[in-house]
Structure 1
C-alpha cells in the first residue's frame, strides 16, 4: 500500500544520507539507536541467561510455528519506545507479542528496540525497504559493507528477530515492485542478503517473504518471486479489509493462500492487516480473528494501528475496539515469546 507507508520514506531517505556521512567519518550507524555499539548482551539460547561469551546463536526453531497465535501490532514509535505498545495493551486488554516497524535500506539495526520488545515478551519484526537502492546493486554486492555490518550487529545482540525484505514486491506501487524489478532480480537480492547473514552466523533471524494479497494484482504470478524454502521461514501476507468488497476471510486472503500453496508449505502470518473504519468494521474484526484461529497454518496477525490512507487505529472506532478486545481475550492469541512452549 503505497500511501500507507509514505510516512516512512522521508525517514529512509534521511537515513541513507546519514550512512554516507558516517562512512566518511568512520562511524557506525549499526549499534543501539542511542549511538553506542552493540554489545553481546543477547540471550544465547531459549530461556537462558544473557551470556556475551557464549557463541551459540539463538535457536529460533520454537518460534517458527508455536502452539499459540502471534498477536502483533505496528504502532508509532515502537519498538524504540514502547509507550504506544503499552497504550495498545491497555486498550485491547492483551500484550502484543510481535511488534512490527519499518526501516529504510541504510537504517541501522535498532538493537535497543529489539531489547525493549523482548523485555515485554515480544518478538520484533522489521520491514526492510530498499527505497533508493536498486535490487540489482544489492544482488551484485555493492551494499555488502552495510549488509555485513548489519548482520554482525544482529548476531552480536543474539536475540531472535524477524526480517521482511522488500514487501509487496508483486505490486506496481513500490520502487522494488513489478514496474521496476524482475522476479529474477528480486530473488537474487533476497538470496544474497540471506547468504550474507548466514555467513555472519546470524541464524537468529526468521525470514518472512511478504507479497501483497493478489486481489488487486491478479495477473502477477507469485512463484517466480519466491526465493525458495531454504531462504524463507514464513510467508507474510499483506492485506486489508476494505469497503466495497467481499470481506469474508477466505475472500480477502484465500486466493493468495491457494496460489502460494502450489509451491511451498511454509506457514502464513498476516504480516500487515487492518479494517477500514465504518459500519462493517466489527464484522471485519470478527472475520479476522475467526479466520486466523481456524487455520492451523496461520501463525497470527499484525494489526497496522496507524492513521494513514485511512484511520486504521482501533481507537478511532469505540464499538469495533470493544469487539476486538472481546476477541483478543481468546487464549489462543498471544504468548510470551521468551517461553514459546
Structure 2
C-alpha cells in the first residue's frame, strides 16, 4: 500500500507540473479563439472574488459614405466662359443674371502651352464649383490665327485640324508622357474631385484628335484615350471624373459613336455638345430633337450618366428665350442627365444668357426650379452610376 501511494503521488505531482507549464507557456489553441490568441469567451471571476467589469474592445466608428454629386433627383447647372478662372467678370454677370450659383465650371487647357496650375482649380473650387477641365491635345494658336483672318468656318476647321505634332499615334506612343505625368501629379495633389473632358467632339473632323483628320486612323482615338487614362491610374490619381463628350449628331453624316467609345471602365460621365441656332440648327429645333438621337445611340452601348457638356442658343430666328424655356421643361424627363453646362460666350453668335432681358428672364425662371438648387463642395463624390 505504501509503494502504491507513493507512485500515485509522483503521478499527481507530474501532472500538476505539466498543467502549470501548459497554462503559462503553451500558445492558446486557435480553435474557437482569435488569431491574436485572445479568447472571445467572457472572463469569469474566481469564486469569492468581486466581479470584474468587462473590458470593451476599441471600435472604429463607421465612416459614412460621401454624399453624391448631384444629389438624387437633382441636376447641376454649369457654365463655360471665355476666360474661365483667369477672370471671373463674365461668371459674376452670369450668376447675377441667372440668380443662381453654378455648381460646375468648364475651362480649357491646350497641350502646347498650358502647364498644370493649381491656382486655376483652387479658384473654381473656392467659388463653390466643381472644376471641369476641357483638356485639348493641340496648339490652339493655329485656330486663333485662322479666326483672326476671318476665314470661312470650314476653312478654319481644315487648318486647325491639321497638326501632325498632335496625331493620336504620338499620344499612344508616349511622346507626351512627361507632360501628362506632370498634370497627373498636380491633379492628384489637389485632394478634391475634378472632372476631365478629354479631347471632346472626337466624332467631328474639326480637331486634330479626330480620326477623320490629321492622318489619324480608325481605332486610334480609343487607344490614345486609354493611354492617358492608364497613365493617371498608374500615378494613383483617384480624384478624376472622366468625361467622354462627342458632338450631337444632326444629319447622320457623323461616324457611329460605338467605335469611338473607350469603354465603361475608362469613362465616368458621357457628355454631349449641342447648340440651337447655328448651322443645321438655324431653324427651330427642340432640345429633344437636337439631343434625342445621340442619347438613343449612346444608350445602345453605355448606361453611364449623361451631361450636356456644352450648349447654348442664339437669337438668329428670335426664339432664343423660347428655346431655353422649352429645353428646361424637357430636361427633367431625362433622369439620366446629371447636369447642363451653358456656353456663356459671344463667339460667332451671342450665346450668352445676358444677350437680352427676355433671355435672362427665361433662364433665371428655368433654373429657379428646386431640382437645380443645391451646393457643390469638395466633400461630395461625383455620381458615376445611375439610380436603379
Q: Which residue of 1 aligns with 2:30?
A: none
Q: Which has the larger radius of gyration?
A: 2
Q: Which residue of 2 aligns with 1:317?
A: 356
* 2:121 equivalent among 114, 117, 132: 114
CA contact (8 A) 1:246 1:252 kept: no
Deviations 1:264-283 (A, max 9, x none): 00111000000012421111
CA contact (8 A) 1:89 1:96 kept: yes
Corresponding position: 1:261 with 2:288: no
Deviation at 1:340, TM superposition (A): 4.7
Deviations 1:64-109 (A, max 9, x none): 7754211000113222333322221111100111101111114122
101-110 or 175-184, which deviates more: 175-184
- The unaligned stretches of length 5 or more in structure 1 are 1-58
Aligned mates of 1:293, 1:183 — CA distance in 2: 36
Q: Which residue of 1 aligns with 2:372?
A: 333
Aligned mates of 1:91, 1:65 — CA distance in 2: 25
* 1:214 equivalent among 249, 254, 265: 249
Q: Secondary structure at the match of 1:100?
A: strand
Deviation at 1:131, TM superposition (A): 1.5
Corresponding position: 1:245 with 2:245: no
Deviations 1:4-31 (A, max 9, x none): xxxxxxxxxxxxxxxxxxxxxxxxxxxx
Return structure 1 stretches of 4+ with deviation > 3 angstroms.
64-67, 216-219, 243-246
Corresponding position: 1:130 with 2:130: no
Corresponding position: 1:169 with 2:202: yes
CA RMSD of aligned residues (A): 2.0
Deviations 1:184-234 (A, max 9, x none): 110011001001111111110000000000115534110000000000001
- The unaligned stretches of length 5 or more in structure 2 are 1-64, 140-165, 382-388
72-81 or 266-275, which deviates more: 72-81
Deviation at 1:179, TM superposition (A): 2.5
CA contact (8 A) 1:127 1:166 kept: yes
Deviations 1:126-145 (A, max 9, x none): 11111242211111111110
Deviations 1:172-192 (A, max 9, x none): 122222233334110011001
Q: Which residue of 1 aligns with 2:221?
A: 186
> What are the equivalent positions in structure 2 for 1:16-55 lying under 5 Å apart?
none
181-190 or 60-69, which deviates more: 60-69
Deviations 1:304-339 (A, max 9, x none): 011111111111122111111111111211422116
Q: Secondary structure at the match of 2:292?
A: helix
Q: Secondary structure at the match of 1:213?
A: coil
Q: Secondary structure at the match of 2:339?
A: strand
CA contact (8 A) 2:67 2:380 kept: no
Corresponding position: 1:89 with 2:95: yes
What is the TM-score normalised by the length of structure 1? Answer: 0.78
CA contact (8 A) 1:171 1:217 kept: no
Corresponding position: 1:72 with 2:78: yes
